[in-house]
Structure 1
Amino acid sequence: MESTRLDRWLWAVRLLKTRPDAAAACRGGHVRVNDRPAKPATAVSPGDEIRARVGDTTRIVEVVRVIQKRVGAADAVTCYIDRTPAPPSDTPPPVARRDRGAGRPTKRERRVLDKFRSGLS
């Protein structure tokens, strides 16, 4: 087997949950094969680079093996090389701390806190 349909492959390797979801993503322009917009019936063969927007992230994978039937997650991972860049490390914003027993903030302290919080957004 040298090639298969794009929507079938995306579903088989578990990048998208269902085959209709994969077809809808292709029709919606969320999937590209070798930097070209792809239709659900686009042929996929080993060596192709697929960019698929899944949720909020764009997955970049290279096809290693073509399969048509859905397989287990452990086998599905062997069918592609994941080249998705690591997400940026989001360090949590600093939290304004008050000493224990200091009571409620004064009006002035509250204004400083509000200014600090609005600067983070």
Structure 2
Amino acid sequence: MAEKTEKEKLRIDKYLWSIRIFKTRSMATDACDAGRVKMHESAVKPSRNVAIGDTYEIRTSDRKWIIKVTGLLQQRKAYSEAINFYEDLTPEEDKTNTKSESSSFYTGKRLSKVGRPTKKQRRDWDDIMDET
């Protein structure tokens, strides 16, 4: 019987990673350490055990989450399966991205007419200038 209680223990940082709130477990741990994961308006440590029925407020770089734990997920699964282990209680106004739409992932491409030209753009420009 003692083994079952050991299996039922799950740290909050591992839980947030497994339900895909954070991309890595270390990001979840850092969020807990920085006070961006709260329960009853007080910050939780990354080693805190999760229990079914707990409600957490989480601030990520993209948005604010309010989740209620409906099941414990020990390992990371596909998003379609992971959403069955929590209930999203976030109000609609907080679900929208707090950042502007243009600030999504950095693609590595330079924005048009900003900064120095790339090597390819400079060569194209040199070709145009040589033709005249």
Give the TM-score taking structure 2 as reference length.
0.63
2-structure distance, mates of 1:3, 1:62: 17
Contact 1:34 1:48 (C-alpha < 8 Å) held by counterparts: no
Select which of 66, 69, 82 maps to 1:60.
66
Aligned length: 89
Equivalent position of 1:96 in the other structure = none
2-structure distance, mates of 1:2, 1:85: 30
The structural deviation recorded for 1:55 is 1.4
Select which of 69, 72, 79 maps to 2:78.
72
Equivalent position of 2:92 in the other structure = 86
Contact 1:2 1:46 (C-alpha < 8 Å) held by counterparts: no
The structural deviation recorded for 1:57 is 2.1
Task: Flag structure 2 segments of 5+ consecutive residues without an equivalent.
Answer: 1-6, 97-132
Q: How does 1:1-121 map to 2 (within 5 A)?
A: 1-87=7-93
For the residue of structure 2 that corresponds to 1:44, the secondary structure is: coil
Runs of 4+ in 1 over 4 A off after TM superposition: none
Which has the larger strand fraction?
A: 1
Higher RCO, 1 or 2 (CA under 8 Å, sep at least 6)?
1
Equivalent position of 2:101 in the other structure = none
Which has the larger helix fraction?
A: 2
Name the amino acid aligned to 1:51. Answer: E
Task: Flag structure 1 segments of 5+ consecutive residues without an equivalent.
Answer: 90-121
The structural deviation recorded for 1:58 is 1.4
Aligned residues with identical type, % of pairs: 34
